[in-house]
Amino acid sequence: MSELIHKLKSLPVIWGAILLLALWLRWPFPEFPWQHVDEQAFVVYPLGFWSGDLNPHFFNYPTFHLYLVALLYYLHYLLSSSESLLSFVAYRYFVDGHGLIALARGLNTLMAVGTVAAVMCLGRRLYGTKGACLAGLIMALMPLHVRFSHLAITDVPAVFWESLALLWAVRIAQEGRRADYLLAGVFAGLAGATKYPAALVILPVLGMAWWRSPDARKTGLLVTAAAALASFALATPYVWLDYVHCWADLSGMGQEHLLAGGHRGSDPPWLHLFRHNLRYGLGLAGLLTLALALAWRPRAWRPEERLLAAALVVFGALLVAAQSTFMRYTLPLAPPAAVLMVRPLLGLSRGRLGLAGWLAVLLVEPAYASLQTRLLLGGPDTRGQLLLWLRQQPEGSRLIQGPGSAGNLTPLSPDFVYNRQAKFMQSFGQDDLPLVYDLLSRRDDLPPLYLVDELKEIANLVAAPTDQVAGNATLLWCVHSLCASGKGGEGLEAVAAQIQWQEEFSPGAVEEAIFDQADWYFLPIGGWSALAATGPAIRVGKVPLRLSEAAPTARGFFHFLHQVMLARQAATQQDWRQVRRLYREVMESPYHFEDLLTFSLLYDLYMHLGMACRDVGAHEEAIRCWLEAARVNPALAEPYHHLGITYNETGQYARAEQYYQQAVALAPDDPVLLFNLGVNYTKTKQYPEAIAAFERCAALSEDPDAYVNLGVIYKQTGQAEKTRFCFAKALELAPDHPQAAAMRREVQQSP
Does 403 lie in the same domain as 326? no
From 545, 563, 588, the end of a domain falls on: 545
Chain centroid to CA 381: 24
Does 406 lie in the same domain as 350? no
Total domains in the fold of the chain? 2
pLDDT at position 56, please? Answer: 92
Residue 562 lies in a domain: no
Contacts of 215 (CB under 8 A, 6+ apart): none
From 545, 580, 612, the end of a domain falls on: 545
Does 396 lie in the same domain as 362? no
Residue 709 lies in a domain: no
pLDDT at position 5, please? Answer: 44
Half-sphere exposure of 473 (CA within 13 A, CB side): 29
The span from the first CA to the last CA of the chain, in angstroms, equals: 125
Return d(Cα 623, Cα 611) in angstroms, integer.
Answer: 9
pLDDT at position 351, please? Answer: 76
Contacts of 214 (CB under 8 A, 6+ apart): none
The SS3 assignment for 418 reads helix
Does 319 lie in the same domain as 209? yes
Counting Cβ atoms within 10 Å, is residue 649 exposed (0-12), middle (13-18) or buried (19+)? exposed
Return d(Cα 285, Cα 588) in angstroms, integer.
Answer: 68
Does 371 lie in the same domain as 483? no
Return d(Cα 399, Cα 475) in angstroms, integer.
Answer: 6
Does 338 lie in the same domain as 486? no
Return d(Cα 363, Cα 614) in angstroms, integer.
Answer: 77
Smallest Cα–Cα separation from 157: which of 165, 149, 167? Answer: 149
pLDDT at position 488, please? Answer: 46
Residue 191 lies in a domain: yes
Residue 168 lies in a domain: yes
Residue 561 lies in a domain: no
Residue 250 lies in a domain: no
Radius of gyration of the chain (CA): 34
Nearest 5°: CA angle at 278, between 276 and 280? 65
Residues of the chain with pLDDT under 70: 1-10, 30, 214-217, 255-266, 403-407, 456-457, 459-460, 462-470, 481-495, 520-521, 547-548, 750-751
From 501, 528, 545, the end of a domain falls on: 545
For 13, the domain range is 2-30+97-233+263-377
**DSSP output for 64-109:** HHHHHHHHHHHHHHHHH--S-HHHHHHHHHHT--HHHHHHHHHHHH
Does 388 lie in the same domain as 373? no
pTM score of the predicted model: 0.88
User: Which neighbouring-strand residues pair with 462?
Assistant: 545
Does 289 lie in the same domain as 197? yes
Does 283 lie in the same domain as 223? yes
Does 484 lie in the same domain as 373? no
Return d(Cα 79, Cα 102) in angstroms, integer.
Answer: 16
Smallest Cα–Cα separation from 114: which of 76, 162, 74? Answer: 162
Does 395 lie in the same domain as 372? no
Residue 63 lies in a domain: no
Residue 16 lies in a domain: yes
> Which is it for strands 450-454 and 397-401: parallel, antiparallel or unpaired?
parallel
Smallest Cα–Cα separation from 29: which of 506, 375, 529? Answer: 375
Does 406 lie in the same domain as 529? yes
